[in-house]
Structure 1
C-alpha cells in the first residue's frame, strides 16, 4: 500500500450541501478518461481531453515483442540472437527468415531445436502530481521461448516446418499497477475537497498481470527454378492465447469532516461514499478482481524469393501478408463499475504485413557479412482504431558478421536499429513502443558428425520516450510521462542433419 499527502490539502472547515450526483459525475468522467468502453472519449485541439487508451482488453494484448515490430517477434533463432542480420540466411533458420533459401541446404533431413531465456523490464514514470508515486515498473521473464524447425530437401524441392512464438510470449506483471489505472483514483481527494471536505491523501492496492502469446505453426515449400533463383510459398497458422489477472483493493481516503464523524485518518472509500449517500461510487471503489482469457486464430500467407548471383553473394526476400486475427473474451471476473472484458465480445487484433529483405556476402572463405531490413505495415492493420495513432510504418535495419575460427567453430556478432513510428498519443502505460538498438554475439560449435551447438546472447538498449500530457479540469493539469524498457536474452540450440 502506498500513501502520500496531497499537496493541495484544503483548509476549509465548513461542509457544503452534499450533492451525490457530483460524485457520480466525477466517477463517470474518471472512467471515461481511462476506460472509454464505458463512456466514449473526446479529443480536442490535440490536447488529451480524454485519454486515447482503448481499454485493458486491447491495450495489453500481445504487448512487447522482444525483437521486431509493435507486435511481431523476429527473434526466431539462436543465429538471430548472435548475428541479427538473417534475412538472407541459407541455414535451417531460413525456414522463418528466408523460406526460399532452404533450397541451398544439402539434400536430406535437417532439424533444429532452439530456446531463448528472456528478461524484460518496463518502466513508466509520470509527473502527474496527484499520484502517490512517480515510477511504475513491470517485469517479464520468459524461461522458455522455443523454436523448432525441420526441412526435407531433395534436388530442386524443399519442404519445411516451423514453430515458434510469433508475437508476445511472456507475462508482464505490474505489482503496483500503472499510472493510467491509478490516475482516476488519485483525484478522489481533489473531488472531495471540491465539495468542502478537507481531504489530503488516498491509498490503493492496485496490481495487474497479463500473459499474451501467439504461437505460429508454419509450413512452406520451396523450388529452385535454376541454380540462381528459388521461390517459395507457405502459410502460418497463428493461435492467440491471452490471460489477464488484476485486482483493485483497499481504496482509502482521509476526509476531515467532524460533522460526519471523520477526523482525517484513512478510511475505506466505500464507507465514506456510502455515508454521504453515493452508493454508485461506493460500489465502483469496492474490492474487485479481473480474471479473463482471450483466444483467437488467423492464417498468414507467406511468399519468398532467393537469388544467388554468385558463389559469394546471396539475396533473400520475404513477404508475409496481413493476418486477420479475431479474438474473443472469456471472462470469469471483471471490474464492477467499469468492466473491460465483456464476456463473449469479439474484436480485431491483426498481425501486420511484413516485407523483409537481406543480402549476405562471403568476403573470404571464413568471413561472411550480412545486412537486412524489415518493414512492418502497421498502419494497414486493424487494431480496433488504435492503428490510426501510428504515424509511420515501423522499420528496422540489421548488420552482422560471422567468422570461421576453425572448421568446427564459428563466431558472430550483429547490430540492429529499430525505429519508432508511433505517435505520442499512441503511448500508454499499458501499451507503448520505443525505438531501440540491439547488439548480439555468439558462436556455432560443431560437435562432430552432423550435430552442432548454437549459443547466443542479445542485449537491447531502448531509447526512453517522453510525452507531454494535459489533464483538463484540475489545478495542475500539465505533466510528463516517460516510457522506457530494458531487455536481455540468452539462447541455446541444437541442430542435426541427415544428409543424403
Structure 2
C-alpha cells in the first residue's frame, strides 16, 4: 500500500506509454522488489528512466536524466493478515509495517553518483496471540516418547520480525552517447527475531502429571556485502533498454538468545531428565547458533517506450 512520498527534483518531460520488465533470481522467500512506492503502481520499472526509481531498478539509466541533484524520501505501508490452520484450528496475526526508502542523486554530463537506503527483503512483524502450529505439533511428538502417556499444550504465544535493510553507493557513466553503465557496492543488515512462551501438561505412564513452562527471546542478526552492476541502451529517442545484476549476498545469521527450558522427568533407571525448549525443535534460534540464509543474485532486464 502506498503511504506517501516526497521528492525534491527537477521535473523531467516525457510520458511512459509502455513498460516491460522481468527478473530472474534464485529461490528466496525473503527478497522483495517493491523498493519504492512507484513499483506498486507500475512494476515495469527496470527499463524506465526516472530520477524517482532508476537508482533502484536501472542505475545505469541515470545518465539519461537531466543534470542536477535529486533527493527523495518515500514510505510504503505493508498491511495484511497471515493465517495458518492445523487440526481444525486457525492461527492468525495482523501485519502492519512501514517500508521506508531514501535516495540521493548527483548527476552531470560525465557521471552520476547515487545513494539509496531502504528495505531489500523480509516479511515485517507478526504477533500470534494463540501461537503457531509449530509448537502445537510438539505434543503428538512427545506422546511417542517412551514413558509418556499424554501431552497437552495449554499456552502458546509467538511474536517475531523479519527485516533486512540495505544501503547502496554507486556511480554511472557513459560508454557512448547511447550506452551507459553503472557499478555500486551494497551493504545489507538482516534481523530475525522471535519471542515465544509455552506451557503444557505431561502425563507419564505411571500416572504422574508434570506442568511444564518454557520461553525464548531470540535475535538473529547478520551482515552481508555485495555489488550492483547495470547497463543501459538508449536505442531511440523513445525506446530505452535497461539491465541490472545484483550479486548474491551471503548472510550468516548468529543467534543471541535467552531461553528457559522445560525440564521433563521420565520414569526409568535413574529418573531420566529431558530438557525441552523451542531450540530443541528449532535449533537456529538457540543461543550462539549460526545458520546461513543468503539473498540470491538477481538479473533484471526491461524496456520502456
TM-score interval, normalised by the smaller of the two chains? 0.7 to 0.9
In the other structure, the counterpart of 1:72 is 31
In the other structure, the counterpart of 1:321 is 247
Pair 330,187 (structure 1): closer, same or farther in 2 beyond 3 Å: closer
Which stretch of structure 1 is more off in the superposition, 170-179 or 100-109? 170-179
Structure 2 distance, partners of 1:308, 1:219, is 24
- Return the match for 2:126 from 172, 183, 191: 172
Normalized per residue, which structure has more helix? 1
Pair 343,99 (structure 1): closer, same or farther in 2 beyond 3 Å: same
- Return the match for 2:298 from 344, 351, 354: 354
Contact residue 244 and residue 292 of structure 1 kept, 8 A = yes
Q: Which runs of 5 or more residues in structure 1 are unaligned?
A: 1-67, 252-268, 362-500
Structure 1 distance, partners of 2:192, 2:74, is 23
| Deviation for aligned residue 1:334 | 4.7
Report SS of the residue matched to 1:177: coil
Cα deviations by residue, 1:380-415 (Å, 9 ceiling, x for unpaired):
xxxxxxxxxxxxxxxxxxxxxxxxxxxxxxxxxxxx
TM alignment of 1:38-437, pairs within 5 A: 70-92=29-51, 93-126=53-86, 131=87, 133-142=88-97, 144-168=98-122, 170-186=124-140, 202-249=152-199, 251=200, 269-270=201-202, 272-273=203-204, 276=207, 282=210, 286-336=212-262, 337-338=276-277, 339=279, 340=283, 341-361=285-305
| Deviation for aligned residue 1:191 | 5.9
Normalized per residue, which structure has more strand? 2
Cα deviations by residue, 1:278-331 (Å, 9 ceiling, x for unpaired):
8xxx4xx61111101111101121110011100110111011111111111111
Report SS of the residue matched to 2:303: strand
Structure 2 distance, partners of 1:195, 1:149, is 61
Report SS of the residue matched to 1:185: helix
Report SS of the residue matched to 2:237: coil
Contact residue 188 and residue 223 of structure 2 kept, 8 A = yes
Q: Which runs of 5 or more residues in structure 2 are unaligned?
A: 1-26, 263-275
Moved over 3 A (4+): 194-197, 272-278
Contact residue 213 and residue 261 of structure 2 kept, 8 A = no
Contact residue 44 and residue 302 of structure 2 kept, 8 A = yes
Pair 314,335 (structure 1): closer, same or farther in 2 beyond 3 Å: farther
Structure 2 distance, partners of 1:146, 1:159, is 21
Pair 83,151 (structure 1): closer, same or farther in 2 beyond 3 Å: same
Structure with bigger gyration radius: 1
Pair 187,330 (structure 1): closer, same or farther in 2 beyond 3 Å: closer
| Deviation for aligned residue 1:203 | 4.9
Pair 99,323 (structure 1): closer, same or farther in 2 beyond 3 Å: same
| Deviation for aligned residue 1:335 | 4.2
In the other structure, the counterpart of 1:261 is none
Give the TM-score of the pair, scaled to structure 2. 0.78
Give the TM-score of the pair, scaled to structure 1. 0.49
Structure 2 distance, partners of 1:74, 1:95, is 13
Contact residue 68 and residue 106 of structure 2 kept, 8 A = yes
Structure 2 distance, partners of 1:100, 1:94, is 8
Cα deviations by residue, 1:196-218 (Å, 9 ceiling, x for unpaired):
97x7x945221111111111000
Pair 149,196 (structure 1): closer, same or farther in 2 beyond 3 Å: closer
TM alignment of 1:474-489, pairs within 5 A: none
